[in-house]
Structure 1
Amino acid sequence: MNDEYELLDSGNGKKLERYGATVLDRPCAQAVWAPQNTSLWEKADARFDRVGGLNWEGRHKVSKAWNVEIAGVVMKLSATDFGHIGVFPETRELWQWIRTTLAEQKKKKGRDLKFLNLFAYSGGATLAAAQSGAHCCHLDASKGMVDWARENAALNDLQDAPIRWIVDDVIKFLRREVKRGNVYDGILLDPPSFGRGKKGELYKIEESLVTTLDLVNQVLSDDPSFVLLTSHTPGFSPIVLSNLLRQYHLTGRFECGEMLLTGKPGVNDLPNGNWARWINNE
């Protein structure tokens, strides 16, 4: 499977990454060790830092937008004012797992599966699920990000795939889905530490996540496949995330771990968030 992402090095509170032919130097607080190869950092096309504000150096040298294939999904990237570029590559192994699991479960169950992606950002996981043949629902509170995800769908020839594109507050949407009786076989949620809904609704993970998970549990089908919970919030460790899921699913298999940015053998893995999942064994 083609993958044009690579972690080149990390250290001194930064990460050096290659996205296709473009090399970026950006902050990463957890990279507290010394870089392994200081000469590589000279190859950065652009650098971003937060010293005295949000600043790009060399941004003009980078294409306004460029496409990169990551874990079999083509993504449009762009150097935004906030330092994000439109993808979190630490989730790429989860995309592969979602794609493979949904394809296997579709064959096993003999029916089309429904996948729900909450806080879905630019759509990598949605498109990986769609590649498996699943019927998808992609939800984010930002219309700009949903539009970006739809562009990514077109890049992967999935513009006509069975994907619902929703701009809404997650909790309000889930409550409506419960009333409608809509259910899903696989659900991914990546709640922010702090966020705003479509109409300015406040989302704080410490206060809102349990409510969200209560509703997620109510929109699972009678024969579901999985629930996958990810987080970049400090303190929400793999065990914390796993314990949150165990409140609802007492049978089945639980797995958890760290999301990692990775490169060639010998390059230090860089933890960047955590995940936990419940898998239905029945």
Structure 2
Amino acid sequence: MYIAEDWKDYEVIDTGNGEKLERWGDVILRRPDPQIIWPIASEDADWRNVHGHYHRSSSGGGQWDMKKQLPERWTIGYRNLKFHIKPTNFKHTGLFPEQAANWGWMMDKISNAGRPISVLNLFAYTGGATVAAASAGAQVVHVDAAKGMVQWAKENAQLSGLADRPIRFITDDVFKFVQREQRRGNKYDAIIMDPPSYGRGPNGETWKLESSLFPFLESCMEILSAQPLFLLINSYTTGISPSVLRNMLTMTMEKRYGGTISAGEIGLPITRSGLNLPCGILGRWES
């Protein structure tokens, strides 16, 4: 498991009964997590004395129960990066802190490459990987279909002191963008993708990760440079094994470029128990 263990502004304090108790800077939140099928060891005052508690609805979705006054948004930092945090209607906060395990890895790869590196970040959300790559010196193209998420990513880049870096923020359908880049002949040294489990394309096409990811990966290979540095796939799709991502990268990237593949779970340390919380999976190819 790849553990994001060098946070100072974020912490999983405790877990149990389908929930996690988290610290985001000075703010304590209680949120559901389907992986947590063990009991709470002690539901003490810390569990009850939270700023916000997200309750799932039996009919789907859910809502926040804010126990204390919160700013509309606040800032946390990771290394030299800074991010706006804001509880959303879908229990999320605008950041997946476990991804710091990937940020550190890609920052090292880019800064040690010894050459200019261009990065394409697909399904790029609020830009955690974008600001990490840009801070390490890469030229980055950030693509997401949600206008609000792209604006949030721009703000994160500004917060991190990267407003003058070569980052292009694009609000577009990811699949159409990749097809256009193929036609334009544009190439990238590294590609990051965090595809959804399900989705709809611009013309009503159905995206289902199990059937769509492999052909999409093949299409992305056509916009890689002659000497690619890395390709990273993240997935939060339930039931997909890290070995599936490893196999896909073996059949595509390793077959064409050689290199090294690694795959596994990604997680966060739990302070009280000393255990690790599984949060998703990754597959990495690197030259």
Q: TM-score range by the shorter chain?
A: over 0.9
Matches within 5 A, 1:82-231: 82-105=90-113, 107=114, 111-197=115-201, 202-231=206-235
Q: Give the RMSD, CA atoms, in angstroms.
A: 1.8
User: Which one of 23, 34, 38 corresponds to residue 29 of structure 1?
Assistant: 34
Q: Tell me if 1:269 matches 2:276.
A: yes
> Relative contact order, CA 8 A, sep 6+: which one is greater?
2
Residue 156 of structure 1 aligns with an amino acid whose one-letter code is S
Cα offsets for 1:26-49 (capped at 9, x unmatched): 110110112244223123211002
The one-letter code of the counterpart of 1:260 is G
Q: Is 1:253 aligned to residue 256 of structure 2?
A: no
Preserved CA contact (<8 Å) 1:185 1:226: yes
- In the TM superposition, residue 201 of structure 1 has moved relative to its aligned partner by 5.3
Q: How far did residue 223 of structure 1 move?
A: 0.6
Q: Deviations over 1:206-261 (max 9, x none)?
A: 23212210111111110111111110001221111111111112321111111102
Give me the whole-angstrom Cα distance separating, in 2, the residues matched to 1:21 and 1:255: 35
Matches of 1:198 and 1:18 in 2, distance apart? 38
* TM-score of the two chains, using structure 1 as the length reference: 0.92
> What residue number does 2:47 align with?
41
Task: Give the counterpart of 1:232 among 229, 236, 241.
Answer: 236
Count of matched residue pairs? 276
> 3-state DSSP class of the match of 1:230?
strand
Offset, 1:168: 1.1
1:38-91 residue CA offsets vs partner (Å, 9 max, x unmatched)? 223123211002124411111662221111113542110111111111001111
Counterpart position of 2:56: 50
Corresponding residue for residue 18 of structure 1:
23
* SS at structure 2 position matched to 1:206: helix
TM-score between the two structures when normalised by the length of structure 2: 0.91
- After superposition, what is the alpha-carbon deviation per residue over 1:87-132, rounded to whole angstroms, capped at 9, x for unaligned? 0111111011111111011x2xxx2100111100000111000011
Gaps of 5+ in 2: 1-5
Whole-angstrom distance in 2 between the partners of 1:204 and 1:44: 37
Quick check: 95-104 or 242-251, which moved more?
A: 242-251
| Corresponding residue SS for 1:41 | helix
CA distance in 2, matches of 1:188, 1:212: 13
Judge conservation of contact 1:140–1:168 (CA < 8 Å) in 2. Answer: yes
User: What is the DSSP-based 3-state SS (H/G/I as helix, E as strand, rest coil) of the residue aligned with 1:86?
Assistant: coil
1:196 deviates by 3.9
SS at match of 1:139: strand
CA shift in 2, pair 1:200/1:75, >3 Å? farther
Counterparts of 1:254 and 1:265, CA distance in 2:
33
SS at 2:152's partner residue? Answer: helix
Query: Could you tell which deviates more after superposition, 18-27 or 235-244?
Result: 235-244
For the residues of structure 1 that align with 2:204 and 2:269, how far apart are their CA atoms?
36
Could you tell me how far apart the structure 1 residues matched to 2:200 and 2:83 are? 25
Counterpart amino acid of residue 233 in structure 1: T
Contact 1:26 1:47 in 2 (8 A): yes
- Equivalent AA in structure 1 for residue 194 of structure 2: D
Q: Assess if the C-alpha contact under 8 Å between 2:14 and 2:272 holds in 1.
A: no
The one-letter amino acid paired with 1:87 is: L
Instruction: Give the distance between the partners of 1:161 and 1:264, measured in 2 at CA.
Output: 36
Segment drifting more, 84-93 vs 199-208: 199-208
Amino acid at match of 1:28: D
User: Gaps spanning 5+ residues in structure 1: where?
Assistant: none
Contact 1:141/1:197 (CA < 8 Å) preserved in 2?
Answer: no
Greater Cα shift, 65-74 or 258-267? 258-267
